[in-house]
């Protein structure tokens, strides 16, 4: 205990972001961030040389499928001949999207569902299994963002944000997982964000939900690895994407929807590009995908040299303010 107290005093006297006790934990954290498969081999003495299950998959479930990334993923999976259960809250928008995809020759099945309603989620998964016999792929994409300084965001908004982005995703996994285990195969992809790599000012609520889902994903994947179970859990880490989520769906603490300025939209990723990356994960069985590449560099830098990354963003902010005459 005295050792831990001394370490805490060191942090208070000379503030740093991360102090690992003992030092080998810090080394393990760095290796795990950069080479997660190495840590699997070290801890579980196993290397799952898994291919993704896309080639033999028949049924997929995609949440948040009425627009953006979810819509693009559903469309791509339908084009591969899968039956895709498209889940979203907005019935009118969902059915319109489903109809659009079906005209391209796919087999989308719209299912109106609020993933905050745990009992409804349970019944929905039961019905999917009853109607289609299996679920091979789950893409957890549903979510929204609450923005604003911590002191301005009501606690109720934090709770609601966590209910959808984190607990809602977990509930679907918990209902789908037993069926995948029974089949002896499956693939779960959780759509995260660069906000799950590094805290971003005014996005404490959204960032917390994505950090939590990232931790859950890693724990679940390693449970599957430890049990030598042929179920893969992967994550995709996109930066800002040109979807309704980023353009019009940011719910500020004052209740005002702030649209993304056009110049900033030009720098956003396309939903189709993120969907292609998700399909690569499903094809290869890889653990993670970062979009763009600089997101991966952010992970490495923030893990190894967090203070240096802070300095970089601070200088970039000052440079931007200077250019704008602020």
Count CB atoms within 10 A of the CB of residue 125.
23
φ, ψ of residue 21 in degrees (nearest 5): -130, 120
**CB neighbours of residue 40 within 10 Å:** 19
Is 83 in contact with 59 (CB distance < 8 Å)?
yes
Q: 296 catalytic, yes or no? A: no
Task: Render the burial of 85-115: b for 16+ CB within 10 Å, e for the rest.
Answer: bbbbbeeebbbebbeebeeeebebbbbbbeb
d(CA 220, CA 231): 10
* Annotated catalytic residue within 43, 132, 158, 206: 206
Q: Is 168 exposed, middle or buried (0-12, 13-18, 19+ CB in 10 A)?
A: buried
Residue 112's φ and ψ, nearest 5 degrees, are: -75, 125
| Contact criterion met (CB below 8 Å) for 288 and 236 | yes
HSE at residue 304, side-chain half, CA atoms within 13 A, is: 11
**Does an H or E element contain 198, and which?**
none
Residue 47: its H or E element = none
* Dihedral angle of Cα 74, 75, 78, 79, to the nearest 10 degrees: -150
Quote the CA–CA distance of 31 and 4 in Å, as a whole number: 23
Looking at the chain, the number of H-run helices and the number of E-run strands are: 14, 9
Strand bridging mode 231-238 / 288-291: parallel
Tokens in use for 293? 């590449």
Q: Just list the catalytic residues.
A: 206
């Amino acid at each position: 205990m005295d050792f831990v107290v001394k370490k805490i005093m060191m942090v208070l006297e000379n503030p740093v972001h991360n102090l690992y006790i003992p030092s080998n934990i810090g080394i393990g954290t760095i290796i795990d961030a950069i080479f997660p498969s190495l840590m699997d081999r070290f801890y579980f003495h196993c290397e799952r040389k898994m291919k993704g299950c896309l080639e033999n998959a028949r049924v997929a479930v995609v949440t948040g499928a009425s627009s953006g990334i979810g819509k693009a993923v559903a469309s791509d999976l339908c084009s591969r001949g899968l039956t895709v259960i498209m889940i979203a809250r907005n019935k009118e928008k969902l059915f319109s999207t489903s109809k659009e995809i079906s005209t391209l020759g796919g087999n989308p099945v719209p299912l109106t569902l609020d993933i905050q309603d745990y009992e409804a989620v349970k019944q929905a998964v039961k019905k999917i299994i009853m109607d289609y016999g299996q679920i091979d792929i789950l893409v957890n994409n549903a979510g929204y963002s609450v923005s604003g300084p911590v002191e301005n965001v009501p606690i109720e908004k934090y709770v609601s944000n966590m209910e959808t982005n984190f607990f809602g995703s977990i509930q679907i996994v918990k209902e789908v997982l037993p069926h995948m285990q029974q089949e002896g195969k499956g693939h779960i992809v959780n759509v995260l964000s660069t906000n799950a790599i590094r805290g971003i000012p005014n996005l404490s609520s959204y960032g917390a939900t994505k950090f939590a889902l990232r931790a859950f994903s890693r724990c679940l994947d390693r449970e599957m690895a430890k049990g030598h179970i042929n179920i893969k859990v992967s994550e995709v880490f996109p930066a800002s994407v040109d979807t309704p989520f980023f353009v019009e769906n940011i719910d500020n603490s004052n209740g005002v929807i702030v649209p993304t300025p056009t110049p900033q939209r030009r720098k956003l990723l396309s939903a189709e590009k993120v969907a292609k990356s998700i399909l690569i994960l499903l094809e290869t069985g890889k653990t993670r995908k970062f979009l763009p590449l600089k997101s991966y560099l952010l992970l490495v830098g923030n893990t190894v040299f967090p203070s240096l990354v802070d300095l970089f963003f601070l200088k970039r902010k000052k440079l931007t303010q200077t250019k704008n005459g602020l």
